[in-house]
């Protein structure tokens, strides 16, 4: 059966950077994101006896090597659960640049998991889907849900899944993304976080701080306190980047333009345009703000030469099949 | 008696960022610097009954407020030791921009201490001078000596002093400084480090790492192993900046040009031009290299628009009286 699913990307407010278990993809700390409307992967999976081998096409390119392997590994996991040995054709499209700190693997693996499980006729709940998706790409488990989503770290595979903390209509905040580089990053998140755990002496303290930040931000979300949400998210982002730069060799994902925008956001805030930044493993800057300030921030970003593109996102909804199937 | 002293600035290879004792200026970790030839303060102190109050002139400006207070506090300390109540006239000149991460307070307080102690007729050894200088500005104690200098943290005032690890002729390395901003920084080191201790959850781990880095770099200096010296210095710098950026509010001393130069140094190293960066609490980048690569690095820095000035330093010598007095 041929099934198509879409899933939105997400941006972590409490970051995931490091695995407690490399094989099961258990994170060292629970973490939390908002799902981003309009930054999505649209993925069709067709398991069929017509195919002699798995084929993976992303953004019009047939994948080979490592990138294909990651997808095939996920197909194997799902085949294993469904007790199937059918090969699949996977065709996926992202409507935003891959691998530049824009979490294309999050939306990609969430959409892949939803489509593939449906294609093999499995009717799984979202918690189960998040557990499966997690094993393809950790942060993708959060993209199974819309809204404010926690990834509970867990101690074994069944205990590590996504939970919806609040839905996309509970408290409306915006993520205005300043895209300063569209190239793929040199060091993948997967490789980078393994190095950080191995070599950064600050790592353990950062994990403890993240758990503390998570408790605080959940309270702030409940109270719809944007200033608190923003402050905690910015601090947690800086804690993660602190461990990245203090990795051997240093993982400095920031570019000169990143610093420029960080400083502008700090200035804007001082003058009363309330906004906070968060940055994934890449140079692009996500600016969190309230709906009433979104236009002004977009306008100011347009005036900056280094900003190559701007995406402005509301909080998005759940991953879903786009054709009426078993989901 | 009117006395003039000069002292060189220094650049820490193992950083000092945080006090274990705010009043005595005991650092949380022992640290180590090289003294920089040619970046100096030239300071004349004249204690005399002619003066009704202390006067402090730095780079041609009469100081008032906080800056004057820091100098007067140091004069008080020295008067107290010498059992004197004479007022002083202090005239100091730096041959490099102040307070932009160029450690003007290090050379300034070292020169002030040497000149003031001599002016009051005290004949103190360098260990004693370093203990006194430390109480005016922590890292200035290292500028009492030339060469590779450790600041032993100590547990009480008499135990916290500078020690010469190797003199300026032991192993010749160069510091090529890319000056990208000449303005004073917004947050002083003194204020910044207090905030880091208070708010950065990574701080304690960084202190432990610094002690470890110190042991390793002393071994590398002994063995004249430039690659090791450079790697450890760069890592320790990044550990310090990690705690700075993860301070509330964030202490991001880097500018876009800082990132640009960091990345260039990483590229140069990959292509075989061996160099390592270290950065104090400011945006300027110190590039450590061997004498044979100094010219090439200066040449490459000249081609970068954001680099406003370049200083290239050998390892410098001890602070000294420049007129024949009791020192």
pLDDT in tens, A261-285: 999 999 999 999 999 999 999 999 9
A202 → closest Cβ in B239, B252, B262: B239
Q: Cβ distance A45 to A89 under 8 Å? A: yes
pLDDT in tens, A144-197: 999 999 999 999 999 999 999 999 999 999 999 999 987 777 888 999 999 999
Q: Cβ distance B256 to B307 under 8 Å? A: no
Of the candidates A243, A234, A299, the residue with the CA atom closest to the CA atom of residue A262: A234
Q: Do B239 and A263 touch (CB under 8 A)?
A: no
pLDDT in tens, A53-90: 999 999 999 999 998 999 999 999 999 999 999 999 99
> Which residue would you say has higher pLDDT here, A163 or A326?
A163
B259 → closest Cβ in A204, A239, A254: A254
Task: Give me the pLDDT at residue A99, please.
Answer: 47
A208 → closest Cβ in B201, B209, B249: B201
Query: Looking at beta carbons, which residues of chain A come within 8 Å of B259?
Result: 252, 254-256, 258-259
Residue A185 in contact with partner chain B when CB distance is under 8 A: no
- pLDDT-derived band at A98 (thresholds 50, 70, 90) equals low
Of the candidates A40, A252, A52, the residue with the CA atom closest to the CA atom of residue B258: A252
Superfamily of domain A174-313: GHMP kinase, C-terminal domain (3.30.70.890)
Q: Do A256 and B252 touch (CB under 8 A)?
A: no
Task: Give me the pLDDT at residue A323, please.
Answer: 74
CA B116 to CA A16: how far, in whole Å? 55
- The pTM score is 0.95
Residue B227 in contact with partner chain A when CB distance is under 8 A: no
Q: Please identify every stretch of chain B with a pLDDT value under 50, giving residue numbers as ranges.
A: 99-100, 326-327
Task: Give me the pLDDT at residue B326, please.
Answer: 45
Query: Looking at beta carbons, which residues of chain A come within 8 Å of B242?
Result: 202, 242-243, 245-246
Sequence-ordered list of residues with C-beta below 8 angstroms from that of A194, at least 6 positions apart, any chain: A18, A19, A22
Q: Cβ distance B89 to B4 under 8 Å? A: no
Q: Do B259 and A252 touch (CB under 8 A)?
A: yes
Task: Give A184-247 as a DSSP string.
Answer: PPSS-HHHHHHHHHHH-TTHHHHHHHHHHHHHHHHHHHHTT-HHHHHHHHHHHHHHHHHHHHTS
Task: Give me the pLDDT at residue A324, please.
Answer: 53
Same fold, A2-168+316-322 and A174-313: no
Other beta carbons less than 10 A from residue B317's beta carbon: 17
CA B305 to CA B260: how far, in whole Å? 11
Q: Do B205 and A209 touch (CB under 8 A)?
A: no
Query: Looking at beta carbons, which residues of chain A come within 8 Å of B235?
Result: 246, 248, 250
Sequence-ordered list of residues with C-beta below 8 angstroms from that of B207, at least 6 positions apart, any chain: B18, B28, B29
B211, B214, B238, B254: best mutation site toward chain A, by most A Cβ within 10 Å? B238
Residues in a beta bridge with A48 = A87
Task: Give me the pLDDT at residue B102, please.
Answer: 59
Record the tokens describing residue B107, joined without a space. Answer: 């050379």
How far does B111 lie from chain A, in Å, by closest CA?
A: 35
Residue A82 in contact with partner chain B when CB distance is under 8 A: no
CA A148 to CA A170: how far, in whole Å? 9
Q: Cβ distance A227 to A274 under 8 Å? A: yes
Long-range contacts at A54-60 (CB < 8 A, ≥ 24 apart): A54/A87, A54/A88, A54/A89, A54/A90, A55/A88, A55/A89, A55/A90, A56/A90, A56/A92, A57/A89, A57/A90, A57/A91, A57/A92, A58/A92, A58/A93, A58/A94, A58/A98, A58/A108, A59/A92, A59/A93, A59/A94, A59/A98, A60/A93
Residue A326 in this model has a pLDDT that exceeds 90: no
Residue A187 in contact with partner chain B when CB distance is under 8 A: no
Task: Give me the pLDDT at residue A1, please.
Answer: 86
Task: Give me the pLDDT at residue B152, please.
Answer: 98
Residue A103 in this model has a pLDDT that exceeds 90: no
Residue A224 in this model has a pLDDT that exceeds 60: yes
What is A2-168+316-322's CATH number?
3.30.230.10
Query: Measured at the alpha carbon of residue A76, what is the angle toward residues A72 and A80, in degrees to the nearest 5?
Result: 170
3-state secondary structure of B128: helix
Task: Give me the pLDDT at residue B97, please.
Answer: 66
Of the candidates A23, A31, A27, the residue with the CA atom closest to the CA atom of residue A154: A27
Record the tokens describing residue A69, joined without a space. Answer: 């392997």
How far does A146 lie from chain B, in Å, by closest CA?
A: 29
Residue B127 in contact with partner chain A when CB distance is under 8 A: no
Sequence-ordered list of residues with C-beta below 8 angstroms from that of B233, at least 6 positions apart, any chain: B13, B14, B217, B276, B278, B288
Q: Spell out the domain ranges in chain B.
A: 2-168+316-322, 174-313
B245 → closest Cβ in A241, A260, A263: A241
* Closest A-chain CA to B254: A259
Of the candidates B301, B179, B199, B309, the residue with the CA atom closest to the CA atom of residue B245: B199
Q: Which of residues 250-309 of B touch A (CB under 8 A)?
A: 250, 252, 254-260, 262-263, 266
Query: Looking at beta carbons, which residues of chain B come within 8 Å of A254?
Result: 259
Task: Give me the pLDDT at residue A182, please.
Answer: 79
A180, A214, A238: best mutation site toward chain B, by most B Cβ within 10 Å? A238
Distances (CA, A) of A92 to A63, A74, A109, A110, B207: 11, 14, 10, 11, 47
How far does B197 lie from chain A, in Å, by closest CA?
A: 14
CA B30 to CA B165: how far, in whole Å? 13
Residue A315 in this model has a pLDDT that exceeds 90: yes
CA quadruple A93, A99, A101, A103: dihedral, nearest 10: 40
Residue A209 in contact with partner chain B when CB distance is under 8 A: yes
Mean pLDDT of A238-266: 97
Residue A64, judged by CB atoms within 10 A of its CB (0-12, 13-18, 19+), counts as exposed
* Closest A-chain CA to B232: A248
């Amino acid at each position: 059966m041929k099934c198509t699913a879409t899933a939105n990307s997400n941006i972590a407010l409490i970051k995931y950077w490091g695995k407690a278990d490399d094989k099961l993809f258990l994170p060292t700390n629970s973490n939390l994101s908002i799902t981003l409307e309009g930054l999505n992967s649209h993925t069709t999976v067709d398991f069929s006896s017509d195919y002699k081998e798995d084929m993976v096409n992303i953004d019009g390119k047939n994948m080979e090597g490592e990138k294909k392997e990651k997808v095939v590994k996920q197909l194997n996991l799902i085949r294993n659960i469904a007790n199937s040995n059918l090969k699949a054709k996977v065709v996926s499209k992202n409507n935003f640049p891959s691998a530049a700190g824009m979490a294309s693997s999050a939306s990609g693996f969430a959409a892949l998991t939803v489509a593939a499980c449906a294609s093999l006729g499995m009717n799984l709940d979202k918690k189960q889907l998040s557990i499966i998706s997690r094993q393809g790409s950790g942060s993708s488990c959060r993209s199974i849900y819309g809204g404010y989503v926690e990834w509970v770290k867990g101690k074994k595979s069944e205990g590590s899944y996504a939970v919806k903390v609040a839905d996309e209509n509970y408290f409306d905040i915006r993520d205005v993304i300043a895209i300063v580089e569209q190239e793929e990053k040199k060091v993948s998140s997967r490789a980078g976080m393994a190095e950080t755990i191995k070599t950064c002496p600050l790592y353990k303290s950062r994990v403890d701080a993240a758990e503390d930040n998570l408790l605080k931000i959940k309270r702030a979300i409940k109270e719809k306190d944007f200033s608190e949400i923003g402050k905690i998210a910015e601090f947690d982002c800086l804690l993660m980047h602190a461990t990245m730069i203090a990795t051997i060799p240093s993982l400095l994902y920031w570019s000169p333009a990143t610093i420029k925008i960080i400083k502008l956001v700090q200035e804007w805030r001082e003058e009363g345009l309330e906004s906070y930044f968060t940055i994934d493993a890449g140079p692009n800057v996500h600016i969190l703000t309230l709906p009433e300030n979104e236009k002004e921030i977009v306008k100011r970003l347009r005036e900056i030469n280094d900003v190559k593109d701007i995406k402005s996102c509301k909080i998005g909804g759940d991953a879903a099949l786009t054709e009426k199937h078993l989901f």
